[in-house]
Amino acid sequence: MTKYVFVTGGVVSGLGKGITASSLALLLKSRGYKVFMQKFDPYFNIDPGTMNPIQHGEVFVTYDGCETDLDLGHYERFIDEELNYTSNITSGKIYSSVIEKERHGDYLGATVQLVPHITNEIKNKVYEAGLTSKADIVITEIGGTVGDIESQAFIETLRQIQYEKGPQETAFVHTTLIPYVVGSNELKTKPTQNSVKDLQNMGIRPNFLVCRTPFSTSDAIKEKLSLFCSIPKENIIDCVDAKNIYDIPINLHEQGIDELILKQFNLPVNKANLKYWEDLLKTMDSLDKEVEIALVGKYVELHDAYLSVAESLRHAGYKYHTKVNINWVNSENLEKENVNLKEIFKNTKGILVPGGFGNRGIEGKIKAIKYARENNVPFLGICLGMQLSVIEFARNVCNLEGANSTEFDPLAKEPIIDLMSDQKTVINMGGTLRLGNYNCKLKKGTLAYNDYKTEDIKERHRHRYEFNNKYKELLEEHGMVFSGINEESNLVEIIEIPKLKHFIACQFHPEFKSRPTRPHPLFDSFVKSCIEN
Ligand code: GLN
207-237 residue pLDDT tens: 999 999 999 999 999 999 999 999 999 999 9
State residue 124's pLDDT score.
Answer: 97
CA–CA separation, 26 and 469 (whole Å): 44
**What residue ranges define each of the domains in the chain, with the CATH number in brackets?**
3-279 (3.40.50.300), 287-532 (3.40.50.880)
CA–CA separation, 207 and 263 (whole Å): 12
Name residues contacting ligand 1 (CB within 6 A): 355-357, 383-384, 407, 462-465
Q: What letter represents residue 112's amino acid? A: V
CA–CA separation, 410 and 419 (whole Å): 10
Cα(508) to centroid(ligand 1), Å? 9
**132-154 per-position pLDDT tens digit:** 999 999 999 999 999 899 999 99
State residue 423's pLDDT score.
Answer: 66
Name the CA dihedral angle for 71, 73, 77, 81, rounded to a multiple of 10 degrees. 100
Average pLDDT estimate for 499-512: 98
Grade residue 427 by pLDDT with cuts at 50, 70 and 90. low
CA–CA separation, 139 and 21 (whole Å): 7
Best residue for ligand 1 mutational test, from 51, 58, 331, 464 (most atoms within 8 Å of Cβ):
464
Beta bridge partners of 467: 417
Beta bridge partners of 438: 459
Cα(315) to centroid(ligand 1), Å? 24
One-character DSSP codes across 280-347:
HHHHHHT--EEEEEEEEES-TTSGGGGHHHHHHHHHHHHHTTEEEEEEEEEGGGGGSTT--HHHHTTT
Residues in the chain: 533
Query: Which ligand 1 atom is at minimum distance from the Cα of 356?
Result: 8
Q: For atom 6 of ligand 1, which residue has the closest CA?
A: 463
Grade residue 30 by pLDDT with cuts at 50, 70 and 90. very high
CA–CA separation, 344 and 254 (whole Å): 45
CA–CA separation, 434 and 464 (whole Å): 6
CA–CA separation, 90 and 366 (whole Å): 37
Determine which one of 74, 174, 461, 509 is catalytic: 509
Cα(394) to centroid(ligand 1), Å? 19
Of 218, 260, 214, whose CA–CA distance to 240 is shortest? Answer: 214
Contacts of 20 (CB under 8 A, 6+ apart): 7, 173, 175, 210, 239, 248, 252
- The CA-based angle 345-351-357, given to 5 degrees, is 115
Q: Which of 28-37, 39-48, 417-426, 428-437 has maximum average pLDDT? A: 28-37
CA–CA separation, 139 and 145 (whole Å): 17
State residue 53's pLDDT score.
Answer: 87
In the residue annotation, 383 being an active-site residue is answered as yes
Determine which one of 66, 211, 239, 383 is catalytic: 383
Where b means 16+ CB within 10 Å and e means fewer, 324-352 reads bebbebebbebbeeeeebeebbeebbbbb
Best residue for ligand 1 mutational test, from 463, 492, 493, 511 (most atoms within 8 Å of Cβ):
463
Query: Which ligand 1 atom is at minimum distance from the Cα of 465?
Result: 10
Helix, strand, coil in percent for the chain, rounding step 5: 40, 25, 35
Q: What percent of the chain has pLDDT over 70?
A: 98
Q: Where are the beta strands (DSSP E) in 348-497?
A: 350-353, 379-382, 403-405, 414-419, 434-442, 456-463, 465-467, 481-486, 491-496
Determine which one of 239, 461, 511, 530 is catalytic: 511
Give the neighbor-by-neighbor strand order of the sheet with 403-405: 403-405, 414-419, 465-467
Of 171, 177, 149, whose CA–CA distance to 16 is shortest? Answer: 177
Cα(200) to centroid(ligand 1), Å? 46
In the residue annotation, 511 being an active-site residue is answered as yes
**158-192 per-position pLDDT tens digit:** 999 999 999 999 999 999 999 999 998 999 999 99
Of 299, 337, 293, 336, whose CA–CA distance to 317 is shortest? Answer: 293
Cα(474) to centroid(ligand 1), Å? 23
State residue 51's pLDDT score.
Answer: 87
